Amino acid sequence: MAAAAPAFQSLVHDAERFGYLKPKDVARLEEAYRFSEAAHAGQTRQSGDPYISHPLAVAEILAGWHLDGQTLMAALLHDVTEDTSVTKDEISDTFGKPVAELVDGVSKLDKIEFTSAEHVQAENFRKMLLAMARDVRVILIKLADRLHNMRTLGAVSPAKRRRIARETMEIYAPIANRLGLNALYHELQELAFSHLFPLRFQVLAKATKAARGNRREMIGKTLDAVKKKLADGGIAATVHGREKHVYSTYRKMIEKHLSFSEVHDIFGIRIIVEDIPTCYLAMGAMHGLYKPIPGKFKDYIAIPKANGYQSIHTDLIGPYGVPVEVQVRTEQMHRLAESGVASHWLYKDETDQLSDLQKQTHRWLQSLLEIQHQSGDPREFLEHVKVDLFPDEVYVFTPKGKILSLPRGATTVDFAYAVHTDIGNRCVAAKVNGELVPLRQELRNGDRVEIITASHAKPNPGWLQYVRTGKARSNIRHFLKTMQYEESASLGERLLDQALRALKGSAAEVDDASWERVVRDGGARSKEELLADIGLGKRLPAVVARLLLKRMDSHEDAKTSVTIRGTEGMAVQLATCCRPIPGDGIVGSIKKGQGLVVHQLDCPAIVRSRKNEPDQWLDVEWDPRTTRLFQAAIHITVENQRGVLARVASQIAEAGSNIDSIATEEDRALFTTMHFIIEVANRQHLARVMRSLRRLPDVKRLARAKE
């Protein structure tokens, strides 16, 4: 242990690394170090090193990101509650509640085991992201902890090494990228790759080193030319040559099916200048030096990436025809690119005291809480968030010129929800660059998008087929679930009223105590949930009615009809086998998970069920005030004449009906049968349509269809 103390003394007095801290913070750090060293006394890591070397290394990594004193203290203490007898209360009493909360948050993350079981992994992932949403410093400590563990992973067994490496590649590296920790992101990927595929890593690393030697002349010539060109233009700049990371080279080989010799752009140049105008001057100089490759210019200064990254990228044809990637940025942008949201972190509780990047990150973290609130299933939550963790962004503009970043493939609906949840819920149409487009239209870089809304509009379940962002998907699902719940509860209340009347009772005579008893005994969370279950067919209304009235011995059947309007939505389904419409005699059946399914009285599909299970069927009648349109199916046999379909369609339209779909049987010599689904208000309206069609000389046979 004694050997570690001098190391810590030299560390905290390193002005370059810890100079941003106040003397009192350094004193508190020394106190936290002594506390942690005493708690871990006698413990060693699997490598044989004293255990205190690990929290010390984690604190050093965080100090490199300029994290505040509380975070560094928590880093030194992050394993004491897990591996020693020290409690959270002791840490709180000694170092304050904020530090204790950070240590507790990291300790809970340490307990997470990412297994192959999908549900368990999703639940653990959810816990980690929600801990991050409450205080981003928790995940920053965890990321630094993971980085040091990855650097020392050689001491653990091969199986555990692969598991930790895969977990790092799939979970921790994407989070580092999303928080803008670029250097950490690449190092985690490199380390994970080296442990997951050690032979591939060694071969590629060796090939990269050999290529560096072969290209030494070209690299030197390029760097000299770049420095001379900048100097000739009076541009003060620092120029660095950099190689593509081994994992980046490997991923490009896999994605584009290339051999190593075919990957030319393994060399790049980074130019760091004083300010933004000089960035563009330097880029102009580069384009004057070497020819740019069309389509490879990217301006992340004007439009930063979602994680705050800023730089100008261009690919040039360098000496000997070898592509060279050039990045130009300011010193501040460079620090931000390396450390992201952790760069010069001064933690504040008030959002208005955060930098723009920290505000942006704060909004993203808060959106995690919103998605979590709406997604009860951890796997659904994971599905939503993974889209945001692996972004390939497109940048689009609002009508007022504000820039929004969305994942590639995002649609106008995603854009609407990115602006505001209410805009998404009420959108009915969209304009892209001034032209009306379908809501499923995918957006491209630079599109100017305007959303058209209507107060009566609501999300369409079909949107789920093409939206890309987690926010849009979770909001649509949440709205649909809420709508179905409310509609089902309303239907359940009417079914229960009918059952109570059949038992010579009424809802008025049921007291609160009876409701509480039935809700509790039935395992429901509330009266509304019980009513929704009745509406969805999960509970029989007659049974609930008897429980409420304590008449379990009653055998009376419900004779009162349930009135339906056809506007109940998902809680009432009109059977597609017979397509009932107002004016038809109807009967209903409760189907589990579907609610009330309504058929025509003489529907052939239900004859056997009505005979064998009469108790499952309810008398249903139409509300005379129904005003919506309903679907009806008709079969029309016509002569095979040119233009006959147009004449039939015109006659249907003139009778005030819309055509939903048309299907035709194979052409025969003289006659063809066409199957129409049309919209009518009621049985009388359908009769008018059919009378109108019979007047056509082409029509030989006409009937309403039932399957």
Which amino acids are annotated catalytic?
Answer: 82-83
CA atoms of 336 and 338, how far apart (whole Å): 5
Residue with tokens 């505040």: 68
Q: Cβ neighbours of residue 456 under 8 Å, at least 6 residues apart?
A: none
* 231 within 8 A of 185, measured Cβ to Cβ: no
> Which amino acid is it at 125?
F
Cβ-in-10-Å burial (0-12, 13-18, 19+) of 269 comes to buried
Q: Cβ neighbours of residue 538 under 8 Å, at least 6 residues apart?
A: 592, 593
Angle between helices 470-502 and 527-535 (to 10 degrees): 90
Q: Which of 341, 329, 332, 268 is closest to 301 using CA atoms?
A: 329
Order the strands of the 562-564 sheet from edge to edge: 562-564, 617-622, 586-591, 595-600, 572-574
φ, ψ at 261 (rounded to 5°): -65, -20
Number of C-alpha atoms within 13 angstroms, CB side, residue 629? 13
- Output DSSP code: residue 165: H
Question: Residue 215, SS3?
Answer: coil
Cβ-in-10-Å burial (0-12, 13-18, 19+) of 275 comes to exposed
CA atoms of 74 and 101, how far apart (whole Å): 9
φ, ψ at 214 (rounded to 5°): -65, -30
Structure tokens at 663: 């299907």
Q: Please count the other Cβ atoms lying within 10 Å of the Cβ belonging to residue 57.
A: 21
* 151 within 8 A of 115, measured Cβ to Cβ: no
Q: Which of 636, 633, 699, 634 is closest to 673 using CA atoms?
A: 636
